[in-house]
Chain A
Amino acid sequence: MATQHTRFDFDPGFEDGRLRVAWYAFVAALVAVGAYATYLRITGGMASTNLTSIVPWGAWVAFYIYFVGLSAGAFLVSTMANVFEVEGMHRIDRDALFAAIISMAVALLFVWIDLGRMDRMYFPFIWRQLTSALSWEVHAYVAYIAILVTELYFSMRIDLARVADRTSGLKERFYATLALGRLDTSEASRAFDRRWLKRAGVVGIPLAIFMVHGGTGVLFAVSKARPYWNSGLFPVIFVISALLSGTALVMLIYVLRTRLFDGEAVDPDLLDRLAQLLIGFIVVDAALTAIETFIAIASLHPHEIETWNVIMYGPMSWSFWWFMVGFSWVFPMVLLSKRSWRRTPGVMVIAGLSVVIGIIAVRFNIVVPAQVMPVMEGLPHGSYFPTLVEWGTSVGMIGVGLLLYTLGAETLPLTPLSGGDHE
């Protein structure tokens, strides 16, 4: 019986006090850099970027789609536990959902700072345009965040109630509030939560695949003026690379949080399962990208060929070969190839980190190269590399994400108190 489990001592947060200080100092440094860069961005306006009217989208847009992808991917991994009930996955359900929420928050921060008029960020909720993918997207993001929060609530509610039961004073009030006052820890209430968790997940899956991340791919793919984006396969690759980065992130978080917060041993079976998923996604991602590239080059469309030339042999080709091909496909594939490595937490952390970083280059290689080729012969070519302000703000917003995640991990019962799977 789950409620009688021995692991009811609720003590989230870092096991090692010195590591906590070091980690918060690191995150504080990121946020401080970001705060100063954001100050420069706001006072200097968009002129503080290296963006131009020829390359109007840059690092912020790349990071925006990166974090949307990370979120969609992490969410879809969570549904393996709460919708498809894949064995042994419940352990990472809340981790995945919480990471998905934080990623969306960071993604929206990137959208916000990218607006020429940051003060008008709420306008898309006042005025709309039915034919605009972006108009649909902002609504999908809100609905998606609502689904994520709902899911996390139903996944975590029973443990919040248990924690509230065990604590007193302000703490009790805090956890009781998060449980929205539903403090029942009976089997019936758990079944109710499970049912609704699944329902929310069922709504969330198409929302995440077709609207949130597929839709973000559509946002680019509808631009007929940019043949590099204008393909039907493009949104599909978007979703696959989202799954790739999301799975890697969840794997990374699972190992780190189990080791550093819970002070427990990593379940090698679960790790292996995540690692095998990762292999699958890497293969599909690389294969679809190869197909897309082949179709583009076989079309002999000069714009397409030139763009791929820029990607593979241009001044920024290092980001394609080293980061996209190297860090997100080849290197992790090597690490994932051996069964014993897939069951070694240290190796999997490196593989996960490698993918999570590599996919950043994937996003940059989506956004920037399509703008290098002029839309018409006779117009100037674009060139772009982010300014320090753009890097600084990006680092800061990532820092905000890390801070929010850490605060959540230090206070919330992200590890199921009853041990995880199928109690």
Chain B
Amino acid sequence: MGRIPGDGPDQTVLVPPFPPVSAYVYVYERQNRPAGSTVRRRDERSRVVAMSTADDGDVFPGVPDVGKADLDAMVEDERPDPREELADVEADTDLGVAMAEDAKRVARGEITGDEYWEKYDEAAADEFGEAYRETPNPAVDAGDQTVSTETAESLSCAVGSMDTVSTESAQVDGEGRGDAGGGIGAGDETWGMVIDLQKCVGCDSCTVACKSENRTPPGVSYNVVMEEEHGEFPNVTRTNVPRPCMQCDNPPCVQVCPVSATYKMDDGVVNIDYDRCIGCRYCNIACPYGARYFDFGENYDDEVDGAGEVTSPEYGVDRGPREEGESPIGNIRKCSFCTHRLERGEEPACVETCIGDARNMGDLDNPESEVAKMADSSRAFQLKEDEGTDPNVYYLK
């Protein structure tokens, strides 16, 4: 087993946190171990741990000693029979099994990726035809490709990188669905979010997920959770109201921008063109939800090495590393409903991370969608409804 990078034998950091239950198991194990017996070293990591904790022998603290063979047998029991599985699909079973077996050999290093693809390219093209040729080529644009560029280019499935193909296929899928519409990635949505305040526990995970997904600098936080306490002791209640950009149908920010750098898109998201924004902050003033933030150019350099090296491809534009004097520094920023994720068929980071499943994302245009139903319910409301902004973010009270 390989080591985790930076995991030297003298380090003691591998000892897991010591919750009471595992402590109990650990003590139990020690007490029941036959005197003088030695426990087989399971792997290198356990040895490292053992070295770091002077008197506990070789047992990995806190982990019950279930035999590795037992576990492997359990996995084997659960594993479906490849032939049975493949019999259910149209494609050739023999080819599938052969490719799977060889793929394992590639993983074990017995044959190279190049040899594998050269061997199966023709057969796969015959078997899957157009579908195969439209498959993203895993080698293209991948920094850590396992197939050489020459081989990759010789293959039939050479339509571009995973990223571009997944975006395109999401659009294609949507068109294919026709009238049914809806679903993330369909391409014809009006994106809407429904946040169930009964489910929100105020953990701020959405805020954190948003910061790490969008790599926002200090002072910029597309999502915040407004925590309000009401009443007097002992009759006190607390409401947590997460606040992303409302993606209003009548956005005051769009109304006031002197250069039309911010505008409403067909998918309901209010877009910002960082290349046009002059940084006058009028939208910042006009937003009734305080959802817009100015990028003052600050960085997390003191906290994180290379903090600005990776940025998020907001609004579908990859701007490379964050650099002084370059947009979006000096521009206004805000939540984009993670458009870059939506285009890949993924939910926004805040929705995906929400521990209580309080946040929901979907197509408000599709009456069958979960969010449309929730937004229609008697519990639904919008923030500052009397502003006339008609947000596409709904809350359930």
Question: Quick one: CB contact mask for B275-300 with A, threshold 8 Å, 1 for yes?
Answer: 01111111011111110111111100
Any chain B CB within 8 A of the CB of A310?
A: no
Any chain B CB within 8 A of the CB of A294?
A: no
Query: Known contacts being A46-B297, A117-B327, A376-B383, is A127 close to B259, with CB within 8 Å?
Result: yes
B256–A56 contact, CB under 8 A? no
Any chain A CB within 8 A of the CB of B179?
A: no
In the complex, chain A residues 259-292 whose Cβ is within 8 Å of any chain B Cβ: none
Any chain B CB within 8 A of the CB of A120?
A: yes
- Bound-state Cα–Cα, A127 to B258, Å: 8
User: When the two chains form the complex, which single residue of B241, B252, B254 contacts A224, counting CB atoms closer than 8 Å?
Assistant: B252
B297–A47 contact, CB under 8 A? yes
Chain B residue numbers with a CB within 8 Å of A133 are 256
A365 CB to closest chain B CB, in angstroms? 16
A226–B285 contact, CB under 8 A? yes
B207 CB to closest chain A CB, in angstroms? 13
Question: Quick one: CB contact mask for A354-370 with B, threshold 8 Å, 1 for yes?
Answer: 00000000000000000
In the complex, chain A residues 373-391 whose Cβ is within 8 Å of any chain B Cβ: 374-379
B: residues with CB less than 8 A from A are: 219-220, 224, 226-228, 241, 243, 252, 254-261, 276-282, 284-290, 292-298, 324-325, 327, 329-332, 383-384, 387
- Bound-state Cα–Cα, A47 to B279, Å: 13
User: When the two chains form the complex, which single residue of A114, A128, A222, A374 contacts B280, counting CB atoms closer than 8 Å?
Assistant: A114
A129–B330 contact, CB under 8 A? no
User: When the two chains form the complex, which single residue of B228, B290, B294 contacts A116, counting CB atoms closer than 8 Å?
Assistant: B294
CB-CB nearest in chain B for A374 = B290
B259–A115 contact, CB under 8 A? no
B280–A129 contact, CB under 8 A? no
Greatest chain B CB density within 10 A among A57, A115, A117, A371 is at A117
A212 CB to closest chain B CB, in angstroms? 15
- Contacts across chains A and B counted by CB atoms under 8 Å: 140
Q: Per DSSP, are chain A's interface residues mostly helix, strand or loop, or mixed? A: loop
- Bound-state Cα–Cα, A371 to B284, Å: 10
A53–B293 contact, CB under 8 A? yes
- Bound-state Cα–Cα, A133 to B288, Å: 17
B42 CB to closest chain A CB, in angstroms? 51
Chain A residue numbers with a CB within 8 Å of B289 are 375-376
Query: Known contacts being A56-B285, A117-B330, A134-B282, is A376 close to B243, with CB within 8 Å?
Result: yes
A134–B258 contact, CB under 8 A? yes
Any chain B CB within 8 A of the CB of A223?
A: yes
User: When the two chains form the complex, which single residue of A51, A123, A222, A223 contacts B294, counting CB atoms closer than 8 Å?
Assistant: A51
23 A-B pairs with C-beta separation under 8 A: A45-B297, A47-B296, A56-B294, A57-B285, A115-B330, A116-B278, A117-B278, A117-B331, A124-B259, A124-B278, A127-B259, A127-B261, A128-B260, A129-B254, A129-B260, A134-B258, A137-B258, A223-B285, A224-B288, A375-B290, A376-B243, A378-B227, A378-B241
B284–A53 contact, CB under 8 A? yes
Beyond A51-B294, A52-B219, A224-B288, 6 additional pairs, beta carbon < 8 A: A45-B325, A53-B220, A116-B295, A117-B279, A120-B278, A222-B256
User: When the two chains form the complex, which single residue of A121, A131, A375 contacts B287, counting CB atoms closer than 8 Å?
Assistant: A375
Any chain B CB within 8 A of the CB of A180?
A: no
B292–A53 contact, CB under 8 A? yes
- Bound-state Cα–Cα, A178 to B287, Å: 47
B261 CB to closest chain A CB, in angstroms? 7
Chain A residue numbers with a CB within 8 Å of B261 are 127
User: When the two chains form the complex, which single residue of A116, A225, A226 contacts B330, counting CB atoms closer than 8 Å?
Assistant: A116
B306 CB to closest chain A CB, in angstroms? 20
User: When the two chains form the complex, which single residue of A116, A117, A127, A225 contacts B252, counting CB atoms closer than 8 Å?
Assistant: A225
Chain A residue numbers with a CB within 8 Å of B331 are 116-117
Q: Per DSSP, are chain B's interface residues mostly helix, strand or loop, or mixed? A: loop
Chain A residue numbers with a CB within 8 Å of B220 are 53
Question: Quick one: CB contact mask for A111-145 with B, threshold 8 Å, 1 for yes?
Answer: 00011110011011011110111110110000000
Chain B residue numbers with a CB within 8 Å of A115 are 278-280, 330
Chain B residue numbers with a CB within 8 Å of A56 are 281, 284-285, 294
A127–B276 contact, CB under 8 A? yes
B389 CB to closest chain A CB, in angstroms? 9
A127–B260 contact, CB under 8 A? yes
A45 CB to closest chain B CB, in angstroms? 4
- Bound-state Cα–Cα, A379 to B220, Å: 14
- Bound-state Cα–Cα, A293 to B348, Å: 45
B90 CB to closest chain A CB, in angstroms? 53
B256–A377 contact, CB under 8 A? no
Greatest chain A CB density within 10 A among B260, B280, B289, B324 is at B280
Chain B residue numbers with a CB within 8 Å of A114 are 280
Chain A residue numbers with a CB within 8 Å of B254 are 129, 131
Any chain B CB within 8 A of the CB of A32?
A: no
- Bound-state Cα–Cα, A116 to B295, Å: 9
CB-CB nearest in chain B for A61 = B281
- Bound-state Cα–Cα, A129 to B260, Å: 5
A225–B285 contact, CB under 8 A? yes
- Bound-state Cα–Cα, A50 to B384, Å: 29
A128–B259 contact, CB under 8 A? yes
Chain A residue numbers with a CB within 8 Å of B290 are 53-54, 374-376, 379
- Bound-state Cα–Cα, A144 to B227, Å: 48
A131–B255 contact, CB under 8 A? yes
Query: Known contacts being A123-B276, A124-B259, is A377 close to B282, with CB within 8 Å?
Result: no
Question: Quick one: CB contact mask for A86-112 with B, threshold 8 Å, 1 for yes?
Answer: 000000000000000000000000000
- Bound-state Cα–Cα, A348 to B323, Å: 54
- Bound-state Cα–Cα, A51 to B282, Å: 13
A129–B286 contact, CB under 8 A? no
- Bound-state Cα–Cα, A115 to B261, Å: 14
Chain B residue numbers with a CB within 8 Å of A121 are 278
B260–A377 contact, CB under 8 A? no
